[in-house]
Chains A and B, each alone.
Chain A
Amino acid sequence: MTSMTYREAIRQTLRSEMNRDNDVLLLGEEIGVFEGSYKITQGLLAEFGPKRVRDTPIAEEGFTGAAVGAAMLGLRPVVEIMTINFSLLALDQIVNHAAKIYGMFGGQTSVPLVIRTPGGGGQQLGATHSQNIELYYAFVPGMKVVAPSTPADAKALLTAAIRDNDPVLFLENLALYNTRGEVPDGEIEIEIGRAAVTRPGRDLTLIGYSRTAAVAARIAEELSTSAGLDIEVIDLRSLRPLDRPTLVESVRRTGCAVVVEDDWLTYGIGAEIAATISDGAFDHLDAPVRRVAMAEVPLPYAKSLETAALPSDADLVEAIHQTLDAVAHRRLPQGPRP
């Protein structure tokens, strides 16, 4: 085990995969000479040279399309899109090409492409640069979307994504880059499509992904200490494929759930989670599934308004308490439950 940041975990994984497989190459804006807008690719141009670490023009559709073509011909390109907001410019390449080529051409060629891109608001970057639109890609059959919340998961899922033969959108988060955690040494890989129960509990199932999974884990710990609550936390880790059995099995035990997401509420990731739980755990639900999400506005620039629009710790704690009140949590006997 080594303690490192989320940023270092991604950089080291890119480096070790490039050393392992000569077909792995990086493309993106400012990733070479400038070493990345968020310094993920620091040192990689010097180590691997301009053929494998390519600075591209500011043209997301162009370089994403080039990477799709490279992937079709056998390379394993890892594209950095500076933030997920700019992926909108490459939407056609991702949705209509990367995700569909394998199926539309009868499996003649797969597209082993990774698109690394951070989401996350709260950095005062304004409405167009602060969105969480991973949903757009998780919606599309043919894509895989992973969203690690810890340095260890970032390493394991990026390894799996690079080795996967299908296009994978690897969602990072601006607020996570400097978070620190223990990362296993040597090769680790997580099967894409498996959620993790990061904290077992009996009172309520709390579900998040990426930044909100880290928030969920922290809040659960705090409420355990302050209020004696025993909250189960699930980190989705993969938005597509979605690990429905883990969600359903948890709620069949706890009887209630809260989802915390960084996107907008309406049609958001949480809606799919709530529907999944309603389908699979209906006869075990003691209260409706609650969602905590961003206010339905273009994210304001002013710090006070931005903070007010983002889901806060207080919002989440309130939703947890409301749900536990609805199931009369304090009066539940403490033994095993039916």
Chain B
Amino acid sequence: MIEIQMPRLSDTMTEGTIATWHKQVGDPVVAGEILVEIETDKAVMEFEAYESGTLSQIRVAEGDQAVIGSVIALVDDGTPGTGDQVSATAATVLAPGPPVPSLPAEPTTAAAAPTRLLASPVVRRLAREHGLDLASVPGSGPGGRIVRADVEPLLTHSAPAAPVTQPLPPVPDPTGTLEAAPGREADGPMDPRGSERVRLTSVRRLIADRLTAAARDIPHIQLTAGADAEELVGLRRTVNEHRTAQGRATLSVNDLLVRACALALREHPDINASYVGAAGPGDAPQMLRHSRINIGIALASEHGLLVPVVHDVDQKALGHISSQIREFAALATTRKLRADQMAGGTFTVSNLGMFGVETFNALINPPEGAILAVGALVRRPTVVGAEIVVRHRLNYTLSADHRIIDGAAGAAFLATLTSLVEHPWNLLA
């Protein structure tokens, strides 16, 4: 019997969610075949069988979570072993649902009796450890409760089924961090909001953790600037006319802005940096200045916010940047973005212009040092010389980690960016 364990599929993964079982109980499994798709904190990954056999048991159902290393299935390869016993690690399954084999004594007797069997906690533990069926034990405690004295004579003849040398759990400290009990359902039918309880996906939990950390730990400074985007719009129109004629995909305003950010970051390397703090107690805090300019593109997908990273943007042509972002967007909709495609960013661009949002503040994507929140292109009456004319304008807000980036440094970066937007032919150089 082979235990299939929840694999570690990314550095930050602590548990995985079973997305799809490709095999059902009883199906033959050949080494190299896809057994299951697992949703990690970053993406959905396929998991292959390493050895052949027959899938004999599924311990974690689709949609349920399990921590790394816990048994999610058993494959029968003809060898005897763990399959018949309840694996200790199976108990680490986080969510209800999987048909975990019932523990001895308790559930079977409880199911047989119409009323709950009364037994003190220590009796239940002893019954569990010794495989004792409590249904046949008369209780002499208050109300017929089975107490230790009732079961102890029965135990002396049978050795414990499992060694009882397991270390006792540590004494709980309820004054420490409050952890919600897993699986606790607080909202009953009395909830006046008519709420439905929805478990967070791995992606959503990662977003929640990262953004909580960002909001809590990073002192954000926010600087908003605006640019006359008339030239940028004109340049894009001209370039796209030629690209359309050649049958090539068109460039977006965002593609141009990502390129502009890369060039501005090259001029202002102090923005392309990460705060790392002290390596250990007593060490001096540190920051990292990144030599490569890798820009994350915040993509809204139905599965949540995903941030794939275009590497070395300052060294790539606009067409190359554009095609890479388009490719990432396609992967994001099918949840096929790999973890390595979302790693290594040094700066992020988030654009909500397509929704008509004109300005907004973004939270920094740790461990990066800054993020640019880009608003919508809007036509505004603008003073040019002595006249008022209608021209395109664009607003963007830089959120920077104020521990390592001063307001003046951020403002200088924005001035360079504005200059690039207003003189966009520099983006082609």
Give A contacts to B, CB under 8 Å.
Answer: 244-245, 248-249, 252, 255, 275-276, 279-280, 282-287, 326-329, 331-333, 337-338
Knowing A279-B172, A280-B171, the reply to whether A332 touches B122 (Cβ < 8 A) is no
Q: Is B125 an interface residue (CB 8 A)?
A: yes
Q: Establish whether residues B149 and A327, one from each chain, have CB atoms under 8 Å apart when the complex forms.
A: yes
Q: How far is A181 from B180 in the complex, measured between Cα atoms in Å?
A: 47
User: In the complex, which residues of chain B have a beta carbon less than 8 angstroms from the beta carbon of A276?
Assistant: 174
Collect the chain B residues with CB atoms within 8 Å of residue A248's CB: 171
Given A255-B148, A328-B149: A284 and B142 interface contact (C-beta under 8 Å): no
Quick check: is B10 within 8 A (CB to CB) of the other chain? no
A307 to chain B, nearest CB (A): 29
What 1/0 mask marks residues of chain B from 131 to 172 whose CB sits below 8 Å from any chain A CB?
000000000111001011110110110000000100010011
Pairwise interchain contact B140-A338, C-beta atoms closer than 8 A: no
B122 and A284 within 8 A (CB): yes
Check: B123 CB closer than 8 A to any chain A CB: yes
**B121:A282 contact, CB within 8 angstroms:** yes
Most buried by B among A275, A284, A327: A327
If A284-B125, A287-B120, A338-B126 touch, whether A275 touches B174 (CB-CB below 8 Å) is yes
Q: Is the CB of B174 within 8 A of A332?
A: no
> Count of chain B residues with Cβ under 8 Å from any Cβ of A?
26
Name the B residues within 8 Å of A329 (CB-CB).
Answer: 149
B173 within 8 A of A: yes
List residues of chain B with CB under 8 Å of any chain A CB: 120-126, 129, 140-142, 145, 147-150, 152-153, 155-156, 164, 168, 171-174
* A-B CB contacts (within 8 Å), total count: 66
Q: Within the assembled complex, what's the spacing in Å between the Cα atoms of A280 and B129?
A: 18
Closest B residue to A249 by CB, please name it. B171
Among A244, A276, A286, A287, which residue has the most Cβ atoms of chain B within 10 A?
A286
Residue numbers in A under 8 Å from B156 (CB-CB): 333
The residue in B142, B168, B171, B173 that gathers the most chain A C-beta atoms within 10 A of its C-beta is: B171
Task: Give the docked Cα–Cα distance between A332 and B164 (Å).
Answer: 20
Chain A contacts for B124, CB-based, 8 A = 283
Name B147's contact: one of A249, A287, A333, A338 (CB within 8 Å): A287
Find out whether the CB atom of B164 lies under 8 angstroms from the CB atom of A328: no
Nearest chain B CB to A325's CB is how many angstroms away? Answer: 8
Complex Cα gap A252–B150 (Å): 18
Residues of B within 8 A of A255 (CB): 122, 148
Which residues on B sit within 8 Å (CB–CB) of A326?
141-142, 145, 147
Contact residues in B for A283 (Cβ distance below 8 Å): 121-122, 124-125
Query: Which residue of chain A is the closest to B149 with respect to CB atoms?
Result: A328
Chain A positions within 8 Å of B126 at CB level: 338
A279 to B35, CA, bound (A): 40
Q: Which residues of A contact B153 (CB under 8 A)?
A: 333
Residues of chain A lying within 8 A (CB to CB) of residue B121: 282-286
Q: Do residues A252 and B168 form an inter-chain contact, with CB atoms below 8 A? A: yes
Most buried by B among A249, A255, A282, A338: A338
Q: Can you name 15 A-B residue pairings with CB atoms under 8 Å?
A: A244-B172, A245-B171, A279-B172, A284-B121, A284-B122, A287-B141, A326-B141, A328-B147, A328-B149, A329-B149, A332-B152, A333-B152, A337-B152, A338-B126, A338-B129
Q: Which residue of B lies closest to A283 (CB)?
A: B125
Q: In the assembled complex, how far is the CB of residue B201 from the closest CB belonging to chain A, in whole angstroms?
A: 32
Q: Bound complex: CA of A329 vs CA of B150, how far in Å? A: 10
Q: Which B residues are CB-close (under 8 A) to A338? A: 126, 129, 155, 164
* Given known A-B contacts A252-B168, A326-B142, A286 and B152 have beta carbons under 8 A apart: no
Which of B120, B152, B174 touches A279 (beta carbons < 8 Å)? B174
How distant is A103 from chain B, measured CB to nearest CB, in Å? 15
Closest to B175 in A: A141
B-chain residues with CB within 8 Å of residue A275 when the two chains form the complex = 174
Residues in A with CB closer than 8 Å to B141 are 287, 326-328
- Contacting B171 at CB < 8 Å: which of A244, A286, A287? A244
**Are A328 and B150 neighbours in the complex by a CB distance under 8 Å?**
yes
B415 to chain A minimum Cβ distance, whole angstroms, is 37
**Contact at B171–A331, with CB atoms within 8 Å?**
no
Chain B proximity of A288: nearest CB distance (Å): 9
- Known: A244-B172, A338-B155; 7 extra A-B contacts, CB below 8 A, are A244-B171, A252-B168, A279-B172, A280-B172, A327-B120, A331-B140, A333-B152
Q: Are B123 and A286 in contact (CB under 8 A)?
A: yes
- Specify which chain A residues have a CB less than 8 angstroms from the CB of B147 in the assembled complex: 286-287, 326-328
Query: How far does the alpha carbon of A328 sit from the alpha carbon of B150 in the complex, in Å?
Result: 8
Chain A residues within an 8 Å CB radius of B123: 286
B173 touches A286 (CB 8 A): no
Residues from chain A with a CB closer than 8 A to the CB of B150 are 328
- Kindly list chain B residues whose C-beta atoms are within 8 Å of the C-beta of A282: 121
Determine if B149 and A331 form an interchain contact, defined as CB atoms under 8 angstroms apart. yes
Sorted nearest first, the 3 A-B pairs with minimum C-beta distance are A328-B149, A283-B125, A331-B149
Docked pose: A287 CA to B147 CA in angstroms: 8
**Distance of A126 from chain B, by nearest CB (Å):** 35
Q: Which residues of B contact A327 (CB under 8 A)?
A: 120, 141, 147-149
- Which residues of chain A come closer than 8 Å to B148, judged between CB atoms? 255, 286, 327-328, 332, 337
User: Roughly how many angstroms separate A283 CA and B145 CA in the complex, as a whole number?
Assistant: 15
Q: How far is the CA of A39 from the CA of B359 in the complex (A)?
A: 73
